[in-house]
Structure 1
Amino acid sequence: MLRQTTASFLLLFASCDGLAQDSVPEWLAKMDASQRSLNYEGVLSYQYAGSAHSLADRVYGLRVRHYIKDGLEYDHIETLDGPEQEIVREGHDVNCVHAGPKLIQRSMQSSQSGYKRYYDVDVGGAGRVADRDTVRLEIRPKDVYRLGYLLSLDKETGLLLQSEIIDQQGRVLERFQYLMVNLEPSSSDELTAQRLMPSQARSQLASQENAPHLETPDGRDAEPPPWQPSWLPAGFTLAQSDGQFPEGLSYTDGMAVFSIFVDSLMAANNDTLLATEGVQRRGASVSYTTTLPDHQALVTVVGEIPLLTARQVATSLVWVN
């Protein structure tokens, strides 16, 4: 996070009009709305901590393009360092409101719902990122089952320009920051289509949000999985809707998201053990895998949550009729 040069500079901007404490829900809603209404391009840096919880030597450059056309979102992210890679997300409906933003909207109406019960959120002052004035939000969890966030939002549009994810010990696990951003890119149809067209020589990841309904062979919608967690941190709700149940289940509290996946413990043909339990980390993301021998199941929980949370969710799974 960019630091202000003097304490007086912080105090000056912390008291500015428009940065009042009661504006926190509005800033969060503005941040979400900016993703559905703005065309922008930019270059950003991404840093993440490894097992030693250090950001050193793990810095990557990315170019991001985001366009809205005919009510649909298009995103193109490409790496600027190392092997050439790109991610393309095509045709996401801007009117589709996911569980996280829904919880934020709900919390704007009641202090007893949404993120307010589980996070302390304050306006931490003003700053500057990518040559634009910003407002900083400090989001601190009220329990040990969540991570903290420092967000710098563009003061004019609410666009997220810098984010830090922080663990319970105050260590920065992950940071992204725009170094340059253009909020008025060319909007010609030809240029937009050209820039969002993935190269055949590079990798492309299709958006999971646009995957079709899972169906059984007779055309019926897929049934929910036969398992469910018996424990969740307070405030987390199922993120899926419209009767869609992919291979895993995702949960969110409006800020954090994690997913649960269950695979067979043994290989189908020769009863060979496929995997053992373990932990993988990358920045704020953790993947915890454990075995449930009684159900011949290999359970994996993945998300931007503490390891404690992932472990307790994974070991709480029960099978239902």
Structure 2
Amino acid sequence: MFSCHPSKKVIRRRFFSLLKSHLLALSLFICLSPAAGATESPEQISQLLSRMSQALRERDYRGLFTYEFGGALQTLQITHQVTQGVEHEHLEYLNGPSRRVERKGRDISCLSAADQVLRGMLPALDGNFHGLSQHYHFYLRDEQRIAGRTAIVLQIVPRDEYRYGYTLSIDKETSLPLGAMTLGVNRRVLERLQFASLDLVPSDDWVEGVEATARVKRTSWTGCESPSEVLGWDLSWMPSGFVSAGSSVLPDVGELKLYTDGLSAFSVFVRPMEKSVAAQGKAQRGATVAYMQQQMFNGQPMTITVVGEIPARAAQRIAGGIRQVSAEVISNDH
């Protein structure tokens, strides 16, 4: 619940505007309990995840998929093409208001941590399995049939309470993810994504003109060489295994830092508190949580917001551990 001066409706609208950029993050397809015995070999799982990452970056594909979260169900069409080594992606909402997201301009060799987490439906995982195995158990399950294709089912079980569990259904032929589901406490389904159709043969008419009624958001992927901003604050605690994936200062948003453990991701926003809004508390939509609180920085009230695909208890603890960093410490670190 929120404690604030404006209406709860206004505060929730502010929170969910932050959540929109995270709604296509990690998800899982099927709810299965782990079997007794050891997890799969690190080499076997690492190769599977690496092939999936490579397929997401380098293959041409177009498909229809459903995305279920927080009691809502959306149908979307995604088109991904690589032209002369550069990625182009189009995401169109087929129900509700007419919307389309277009992204382009990233070289397929670009593998920065931030891009791996924020690039699209699922993050890239190249070469990071051995670190992940310290925080997750991995199990291979029976094959499944999705969108008329055979999929390998990989169940991912967290080793602690500060991250979610996942199951990925990975196409046996192409290594593209065909289905996904995010599981919370007691394996409760938080988000579900599943392809209904998938076309792997590129066509010149894949990228069609956008109707005049459609709202189109056009963005470019950040280059691998983009430097991170040096900010005057840091985290005193975060779940083990998470590392920095970049930082920046965004207009109308504030100072931002990104973190990932390779599977999960969260962002921390810090900005001066608006006089008309003094809110604190949490909001959740599917697997994405936003937790907000206030803190004084050098006598100035600041609003701290943690947004990501992590349990609420983790977001609250992260927000409560923001600390200022002196100029001397920043200079020594950089």
Mark yes or no: TM-score above 0.5.
yes
CA apart distance, 1:208: 6.2
Tell me the residue number matched to 1:84: 98
CA contact (8 A) 1:279 1:289 kept: yes
Pick from 52, 58, 77: which aligns with 1:63? Answer: 77
Deviation at 1:79, TM superposition (A): 1.2
- Find the structure with the greater CA-based Rg: 1
Which residue is 1:317 aligned to?
Answer: 322
1:88–1:275 CA distance, 2 compared to 1 (3 A): farther
Matches within 5 A, 1:108-187: 108=129, 111=130, 114-186=131-203
Equivalents in 1 of 2:136, 2:218: separation in Å? 33
- Aligned twin of 1:305: 310
**Does structure 1 residue 261 correspond to structure 2 residue 282?**
no
Partners of 1:3 and 1:273 in 2: CA distance = 44
SS at match of 2:187: coil
Aligned length: 279
Identity rate, percent: 30
CA pair 209-249 structure 1, distance change in 2 beyond 3 A: farther
Structure 2 gap ranges (5+): 1-28, 118-122, 327-334
Q: With a CA cutoff of 8 Å and minimum separation of 6, indicate the structure with the bigger relative contact order.
A: 2
Query: Normalising by structure 2, what TM-score?
Result: 0.76
* Equivalent residue for 1:95, pick from 109, 117, 121: 109
Q: Which amino acid aligns with 1:300?
A: T
Q: Give the equivalent residue in structure 1 for 2:287.
A: 284
**Kept in 2: contact 1:103–1:253 (CA 8 A):** no
State which of 296, 302, 308 in structure 1 corresponds to 2:301: 296
User: Does the 8 Å contact 2:104/2:221 carry over to 1?
Assistant: no
TM-score, normalising length: structure 1: 0.79
* Matched residue SS, 1:207: strand
Distance 1:125 1:262 in 2: 45
- Tell me the SS of whatever aligns to 1:261: strand
Q: 2 CA distance for matches of 1:103 and 1:47? A: 22
Q: CA deviation at 1:23?
A: 1.6
CA RMSD of aligned residues (A): 2.8
Q: Deviations over 1:198-242 (max 9, x none)?
A: 44532223336338999xxxxxx774111111101100000128x
TM superposition shift of 1:105: 3.6
